[in-house]
Amino acid sequence: MLPLTLSLSLSFLILANADPVHIPLTVRDVDSGSSDAVNAEHWNSVAEGLQLKYGIGNSNSRRMGRRASTADIPMTNQQTDASYFGTVNVGTPSQPFNVILDTGSSDLWLASSACSLCDSETPLYDLSKSSSAQNTNRPVSITYGSGQVRGTTVTDNVSIGPFSVSSQTLLAVNVVSSGLLDGTVSGILGLGFNTISSTRSTPLWQTLANNGDFSSPDMSFWMTRLRGTTNRQTEAPGGVMTLGGTNSTLFTGDVEFLPAVGQPSFWLLEMKTLTVNGKNVPISTGNNAVSAIDTGTTLIGGPGTDVKAFWAAVPGSNVVSDMPGFFSYPCSTDLNVGMSYGGKSWSINPKDMNIGRLSVGSSSCVGGIFDLSRGTNIASGGEGTPGWVVGATFLKNVYSVFRATNPPQIGFAQLSDAAGGSGMIPSSSSATELNPTATFAPSSSRRGSSSTIGAPGNTPSGSGNGSGSGSGSNGAVRSGRTVSSAPAAFAGAVVLLAGFVGGLGGF
């Protein structure tokens, strides 16, 4: 398997003095039902997908209406914190689609009306109903741990909240393996950098940033928690994604910003410390400490040595024989976990560390940190490959900000009481206020700043009319998705879904 290529040449633009945009999220329940036992088949599939995602183991912008400065776009929490999605509108006239909001990938793809194997519940993108759609007929295939998607690249008008991009490249998928999409989700919106784009296009957010639509180069997230509660809905209010700034009603104190490591690709930080119940866990340095901060992923995956050291510090923990890479621990034990990336140590709620009982009536529960290498001879943390993938298990506990300055930065802040404090859906009337259908009005609660944004407008090397084989000509492994031109064999890989969608790589 070839290494992940992270090289990138950036050009930075001075932003116009616009105002930010807020975007609320929604969760899906993977362990719903009368039993609280863990769904081993699901989590095994999810683990394999995430491993593959990261290569481990194998336009012109225009505004709709007035220049909107702030938009709270609702997110939906799907399958009890498994994934978080928002809505984009595509085409002329526009067609709304729910997509996983994924900082661990950089492409927009949608199941299309040509998809014969798609679930009847999946809303499908119909090119023939859009006067602005242009089929560029470049085939791209993406393989997952439990299946694949295949389609052709298209350009069409795409909007999210008050922002719109004309001729945005997306993948219209006509082949989707069974179980890869769930419920009302139609695809994925990648929020990473263009260097890991399998369609060799500039991501929607970068196009908007390049054109000065953002007053501040920020994408910010508040993600709700359903795990550990009686509110086991398939889809529930999931929080808020904010484009172009932060929403000060959702956090308290200052945002602690840390510079991202490496060249812009994934959103990467270096893990400095890991603790469990007051004990310091010895962890690796260098490549193995590099962590992808991934809103599209459910759990936390790490290098085998570090994960074993973590569970060795938990009395009564054991390897789960039929779930490679996973560990169990006594359900009576609360795991108080802390993570630091060079500044504060951020706590993880014990509820997020418990993904379910080993079996019905068992006194052992399965933990939310697993071995990303999963016992294979290919370890995480190789050159250019994240050693850790840090998903919602951590991100539900903080207000997170992805800032595309030069160099990029990732920030964390303590959740406000209005946001539930620990990521819970507020029980007060503020829950309605913080989960609007769509709110675009600027207010004093929105924070924006004028700064340069690291959002390169040039497509990666090798873009053009060539077939989809990832960024660059060497088919470098970038995640668990294999991208290829038809009819050639799969070559290279691409980051796609970070959130759970069957086996789509969400952890």
Q: Which residue has the higher pLDDT, 53 or 127?
A: 127
Query: Which pLDDT value is given to residue 73?
Result: 85
Query: Which pLDDT value is given to residue 305?
Result: 96
Checking if the pLDDT of 448 tops 90, the result is no
Query: Which pLDDT value is given to residue 447?
Result: 46
Query: Which pLDDT value is given to residue 401?
Result: 97
Could you count the other beta carbons within 10 Å of the beta carbon of residue 16?
12
The catalytic residue among 29, 31, 81, 102 is 102
Query: Which pLDDT value is given to residue 20?
Result: 60
Band the pLDDT of 142: cuts 50, 70, 90. Answer: confident
Query: Which pLDDT value is given to residue 36?
Result: 72
Q: Is 352 a catalytic residue?
A: no
Checking if the pLDDT of 275 tops 70, the result is yes
Strands (E), 79-162: 83-90, 95-102, 108-111, 134-144, 147-160
Instruction: Determine the residue type at 2.
Output: L
> CB of 196 within 8 A of CB of 495?
yes
Checking if the pLDDT of 144 tops 60, the result is no
Which of 290-304, 382-396, 487-501 reaches the highest mean pLDDT? 290-304
Q: What is the mean pLDDT of residues 436-461?
A: 35
Q: What is the mean pLDDT of residues 36-41?
A: 76
Checking if the pLDDT of 4 tops 90, the result is no
228-231 CB contacts, 8 Å cutoff, 24+ apart: 228/349, 228/351, 228/352, 228/354, 229/351, 229/424, 231/425
Q: Which two tokens stand for residue 266?
A: 């994934």
- Cα angle 153, 157, 160; round to 5: 110
Q: Which two tokens stand for residue 128?
A: 């023939």
For the chain, what are the domain ranges? 1-507
Checking if the pLDDT of 58 tops 70, the result is no
Band the pLDDT of 21: cuts 50, 70, 90. Answer: low
> CB of 97 within 8 A of CB of 110?
yes
Q: Which residue has the higher pLDDT, 485 or 153?
A: 153
Instruction: Determine the residue type at 106.
Output: S
- Indicate the average pLDDT of the chain: 77
Taking CA atoms, 428 is separated from 2, 73, 424, in Å, by 51, 20, 11
Least confident of 223-232, 258-267, 480-489: 480-489
Candidates 476, 356, 386; CA nearest to 79 is 356
- The full DSSP string for 257-284 is EEEPPSSSSS-EEE--EEEETTEEPP--
- Going by the DSSP 8-state scheme, the letter that residue 419 receives in this structure is G
Checking if the pLDDT of 364 tops 80, the result is yes
Q: Could you tell me if residue 472 is left (phi over 0), alpha (psi between -120 and 50 degrees) or otherwise beta?
A: left
Taking CA atoms, 166 is separated from 17, 94, 126, 201, 461, in Å, by 22, 12, 17, 13, 22
Query: Which pLDDT value is given to residue 502?
Result: 28
Q: What is the mean pLDDT of residues 255-269?
A: 95
Q: Is 213 a catalytic residue?
A: no
Could you count the other beta carbons within 10 Å of the beta carbon of residue 9?
11
Least confident of 10-24, 283-297, 339-353: 10-24
Least confident of 240-254, 368-382, 385-399: 368-382
- Please list, residue by residue across 204-234, b when 16 or more beta carbons sit within 10 angstroms of its beta carbon and e when fewer do: bbbbbbbbbbbbbbbbbbbbbbbbeeebbbb
Query: Which pLDDT value is given to residue 50?
Result: 67
pLDDT, tens digit, 9 for 90 and up, residues 200-243:
999 999 998 888 898 888 999 999 999 988 877 899 999 999 99
Query: Which pLDDT value is given to residue 417?
Result: 94
Query: Which pLDDT value is given to residue 72?
Result: 81
Which of 16-30, 170-184, 322-336, 443-457 reaches the highest mean pLDDT? 322-336
Q: What is the mean pLDDT of residues 462-475?
A: 32
Report the percent of the chain where pLDDT is more than 70.
68
Band the pLDDT of 191: cuts 50, 70, 90. Answer: very high
The catalytic residue among 19, 107, 294, 306 is 294
Q: Which residue has the higher pLDDT, 31 or 170?
A: 170
> CB of 249 within 8 A of CB of 240?
no
Q: Which residue has the higher pLDDT, 81 or 144?
A: 81
Checking if the pLDDT of 439 tops 90, the result is no
Q: What is the mean pLDDT of residues 133-155?
A: 82
Least confident of 23-27, 164-168, 285-289, 364-368: 23-27
Query: Which pLDDT value is given to residue 24?
Result: 58
Task: Classify residue 444 by burial, with Cβ atoms within 10 Å: 0-12, 13-18, 19+.
Answer: exposed
Band the pLDDT of 480: cuts 50, 70, 90. Answer: very low
Query: Which pLDDT value is given to residue 97?
Result: 98
Candidates 176, 77, 72; CA nearest to 125 is 176
- The full DSSP string for 299-341 is SEEE-HHHHHHHHHTSTT-EE-TTSTT-EEEETT----EEEES
Instruction: Determine the residue type at 444.
Output: S
**Residue whose pair of structure tokens reads 């030069």 in the numeric block:** 406
Query: Which pLDDT value is given to residue 228?
Result: 85
The third-level CATH classification (topology) of the domain covering 1-507 is Cathepsin D, subunit A; domain 1 (2.40.70)
